[in-house]
Amino acid sequence: MKINEAGVVRSLVRESFFEFVREFWHVIIEEAPVFNWHVEFLCDELQEMAERVFMREERPYDMLCNIPPGSTKSTIASQMFPAWVWTRMPSAQFICVSYAYAIAQKDSLKTRDIVQSDLYAKCFPGIQLREDANTKGLFVNTKKGFRLAVGVGGAITGMHGHFLIVDDPLNPEQAYSEAELRMVNRWMRTTLPSRRIPKNVAPIILIQQRLHQMDPSGEMLERYQGKKLRHLCLPGELTKDVAPAKLAKWYSKKGLLDPVRLSRSVLEELMRELGPYGYAGQILQTPIPPEGGMFDVSKFNRMKEAPPLVRVVRSWDKAGTEGAGKFSAGVKLGLDKQGRPWVIDVKRGQWGATRREANIRETAENDGIGVEIILEIEGGSGGKESGESSVRNLMGFRVTTFHPTGDKETRAYPASTQVGAGNVFILDRHWTQTFLDELQIFPFGKYTDQVDAFSGGFNVIARKKRRVGGMW
């Protein structure tokens, strides 16, 4: 490349991150590029954030981008973006995170390959890496800018960044582990934000395929509550969740995000490989399938009133934290003369132990002596003591206790089967939609109290019971 040609390229790519991606694509990727519209859109969004950092302007928002795998997201955000920012701000410091250090390191090597390429050297001869600080996971340039690769949970004490980029902090297997979810979210919430420099300028950029309702994206959406968060949602095919909504016009006539790389045939193959849960999260960016999880809630028969019921129970799932944490829920179910199950009432709240017991007692009094009360007794001495306390609190009422066996999904299967067959009826009341929303998401939702209470009560009334003297 001649000197004048290098000057033209330098001028072009410094002013446009998208042009930088186009020009330097071949440096790290052998395949021919497919510059679908979303590539330029993401480049422009990242450049807009970077321009504010260059000017030391106060950060108006952090960024969350939900997009399917195979959409060039890592190439754009984790690999090319740091190299481009250095063309404008050589002193920029990057902390780049992925779910595993090996993945973060792989992206780091790609950035280093760009910065050490002949093309980059000809266009930006003043940006060079220090020989004494040039490793796979951390390299520093002669202007004091650096790029640090970190796995989630990794130590970053003493390191600060002008840009904190998180690229898939959770893999699909981790999403099935509640402990892994808590660990990742805690690290993202308590460790990463403290690494901003300056605190009021540096943005956090999270790019992730959705895997769980409360994965880091879900936790971020709940924590920010729409304030100071730029949410980009680009599902593999057009849905109501596209954000900003104006982007829907850029989808193909067949409703596809990228008709070349994510064609209809590719999406159909992914549906077979990932299953409905995986496809909903990783491709549609909604961590439940469109028809729901275990429960196809569209099959509930919603009714205004219930017929006479021959047996009624109230099943409770208890929690003990007031105002936060988990809910306590009491689901009232009945059987009609045809043996059809009905959901006729739900009581639910975030109550401390004292208030919870008072509400359970008050509900029992309102239900009447004819309603059997079902209580789950959890394992361990604490669960046993809590159960015994609830039984004493309900003196004078019929109480049945049980120790749960198997996981929550296994216990919910009998109820979900009957719901899916269209055999379960439910009253249309103020609590109905909240109840159905939780069932629809299960087992990937944040809360399971109503599901647990429902399945516990259902499993009791579904068992045949001998009639004695005309009574159950």
Q: Which CATH number characterizes residue 263's domain?
A: 3.40.50.300
**Are the CB atoms for 129 and 112 separated by under 8 Å?**
yes
- The answer to whether residues 202 and 326 belong to one domain is no
Residue 472 within a domain: no
Instruction: Name the domain boundary from 261, 283, 305.
Output: 283
Say what the pLDDT of residue 407 is.
85
Tokens of 369: 């002596």
Side chain identity, residue 332? K
Residue 95 within a domain: yes
Other Cβ atoms closer than 10 A to 403: 11
26: which residues sit within 8 A by CB, 6+ positions away?
none
Say what the pLDDT of residue 2 is.
55
List per-block mean pLDDT (blocks of 10 residues) for the chain, which spans 472 residues.
Answer: 73 95 96 94 98 97 96 96 98 96 96 96 94 94 96 90 96 85 93 94 96 91 90 95 96 95 93 84 84 83 96 90 72 96 96 93 96 84 75 93 86 94 97 91 82 95 56 36
**Are the CB atoms for 121 and 3 separated by under 8 Å?**
no
Residue 288 within a domain: no
- The answer to whether residues 366 and 238 belong to one domain is no
d(CA 472, CA 209): 51
Is 432 strand, coil or helix? helix
Secondary structure letter of residue 370 according to DSSP: T
Rounded to an integer, what is the distance from CA 380 to the centroid of its chain? 31
- The answer to whether residues 365 and 417 belong to one domain is yes
Helix/strand number for the chain, H first, E second: 15, 15
Residue 148 within a domain: yes
Identify the burial level of 159 via C-beta atoms within 10 angstroms of its C-beta, where 0-12 means exposed, 13-18 middle and 19 or more buried. Answer: middle
d(CA 472, CA 465): 7
d(CA 66, CA 220): 12
Residue 311 within a domain: yes
- The answer to whether residues 339 and 375 belong to one domain is yes
Q: What is the CA radius of gyration of the chain?
A: 28
Instruction: Name the domain boundary from 215, 248, 283.
Output: 283
d(CA 236, CA 263): 9
- The answer to whether residues 182 and 321 belong to one domain is no
Q: Which CATH number characterizes residue 387's domain?
A: 3.30.420.240
- The answer to whether residues 115 and 169 belong to one domain is yes
Other Cβ atoms closer than 10 A to 175: 23
- Residue 84, phi then psi, degrees to nearest 5: -70, -45
User: Which residue range forms the structural domain that includes residue 374?
Assistant: 297-462
Rounded (5°) CA angle 344-349-353:
120
Residue 468 within a domain: no
How many domains does the chain divide into? 2
**How close are the terminal C-alpha atoms of the chain, in Å?**
90
- The answer to whether residues 450 and 316 belong to one domain is yes
- The answer to whether residues 72 and 185 belong to one domain is yes
How far apart, in Å, are the Cα atoms of 431 and each of 166, 332, 396? 38, 12, 28
Tokens of 452: 């647990």
Residue 321 within a domain: yes
- The answer to whether residues 239 and 375 belong to one domain is no
**Are the CB atoms for 368 and 340 separated by under 8 Å?**
no
Instruction: Name the domain boundary from 225, 250, 283.
Output: 283
**Are the CB atoms for 327 and 318 separated by under 8 Å?**
no
- The answer to whether residues 309 and 276 belong to one domain is no
**Are the CB atoms for 436 and 450 separated by under 8 Å?**
no
Residue 219 within a domain: yes
Q: Is the peptide bond before 68 cis (omega within 30 degrees of 0)?
A: no
- The answer to whether residues 268 and 307 belong to one domain is no
H-run or E-run covering 401: strand 399-402
Say what the pLDDT of residue 380 is.
60
Spell out the alpha helix ranges (H) of 187-291: 216-224, 264-278
- The answer to whether residues 128 and 199 belong to one domain is yes
